[in-house]
Structure 1
Amino acid sequence: MVDISDEYMQARLTKVRTYSLLQLKIGPNYQPRDVRSAEQSKIVREHGRRNMQLQAEGKMALVGPVHDAGALVGIGIFTVPEAEARVLMDADPAVQAGILVCEYATLYGFPGDGLPA
């Protein structure tokens, strides 16, 4: 493992900021992908398009589906305050259709962190 000095750690910790962690869970109208109706497939596709729009606008840093995690089917990390994230997700077509429900938590992270290519 790489050695992390106290000075490096302290300097990095001064850069921590809060993000809004979105947990997307199975809603009352959820249908698994392999048996999903054409109508629900269209709604889920528009949900994905909207997520890409939120990323392009810089409001969502990370988003994606989760597999084999029970009721948890997706996560997202918002760069906006939780209140704004809630408003944005309340307008999401899959949430409005009862396909997905949202839960939120505060995530502490380092600006610029990301997934490796």
Structure 2
Amino acid sequence: MRLLFLPAILLLAATFSTAYAGDENDKYDAALAEELGADDYGMRSYIFVMLRTGPADAEITDAERRNELFAGHFANIRNLAEEGKLVLAGPLSNGTNERGLYVLNVETIEDAQALMENDPTIVAGVFTAEYINFYGSAALMKLNDIHAKIQKTAVQ
């Protein structure tokens, strides 16, 4: 009886594994993967930027000056998104020195640094930026398209 049971289990396992692999491969969209720059794992490289409180943050107390700097900061974010360079951005509110983050669609840290040179809050020292190579899902490249469809009010 044991001898018959083992081949039956092996046949059943082979059937399920073949069926599962077929279903998984049927989901793959080669054109979308190519459009998003995905590798075989559906992943790609980005540059992650961590914004931290800068040395001049406490020194810039004039409300008009801060508003001007942050208006430029948000304008830079919008420009980067429109150019397809910004994948994700947002503030952090953990009460520490970490203030925000970006995920950038650029090849190198030097490319990311060049983009951040246009951000008035970094230029003024309100923020400093740390640059890190990041490997994540290529699906992030669709995030801005989706966000535009669900955003009711734009940040000014």
TM over 0.5: yes
Q: Relative to 1, partners in 2 of residues 1:21 and 1:69: Cα closer, same or farther, differing over 3 Å?
A: farther
Partner of 2:10: none
Residue ranges of structure 2 left out of the alignment (5+ in a row): 1-19, 29-37, 151-156
Residue type at the aligned position of 2:50:
Q
CA distance in 1, matches of 2:117, 2:82: 19
Whose radius of gyration is greater, 1 or 2? 2
Q: Relative to 1, partners in 2 of residues 1:30 and 1:111: Cα closer, same or farther, differing over 3 Å?
A: same
Partner of 1:29: 56
Partner of 2:87: 61
Partner of 1:95: 122
1:41-96: per-residue Cα shift (whole Å, max 9, x none)? 21012111111110111001111111124001010000012211111112211111
Question: Would you tell me which structure has more helix in proportion to its own residues?
Answer: 2
Residue ranges of structure 1 left out of the alignment (5+ in a row): none
CA distance in 1, matches of 2:133, 2:39: 16
Residue type at the aligned position of 1:41:
N
Residue type at the aligned position of 1:23:
M
Partner of 2:11: none
Contact 2:76 2:118 in 1 (8 A): no
Q: Relative to 1, partners in 2 of residues 1:17 and 1:40: Cα closer, same or farther, differing over 3 Å?
A: same
% identity of equivalent residues? 24
Q: Does 1:42 align with 2:80?
A: no
1:3-47: per-residue Cα shift (whole Å, max 9, x none)? xx7885xx787221110001000001114xxx6622022101211
Q: Aligned pairs, how many?
A: 108
TM-score, normalising length: structure 2: 0.60
What root-mean-square deviation, in Å, do the aligned CA atoms of Structure 1 and Structure 2 show? 2.4
Residue type at the aligned position of 1:100:
F
Question: Would you tell me which structure has more strand in proportion to its own residues?
Answer: 1
Partner of 1:70: 96
CA distance in 1, matches of 2:47, 2:21: 28
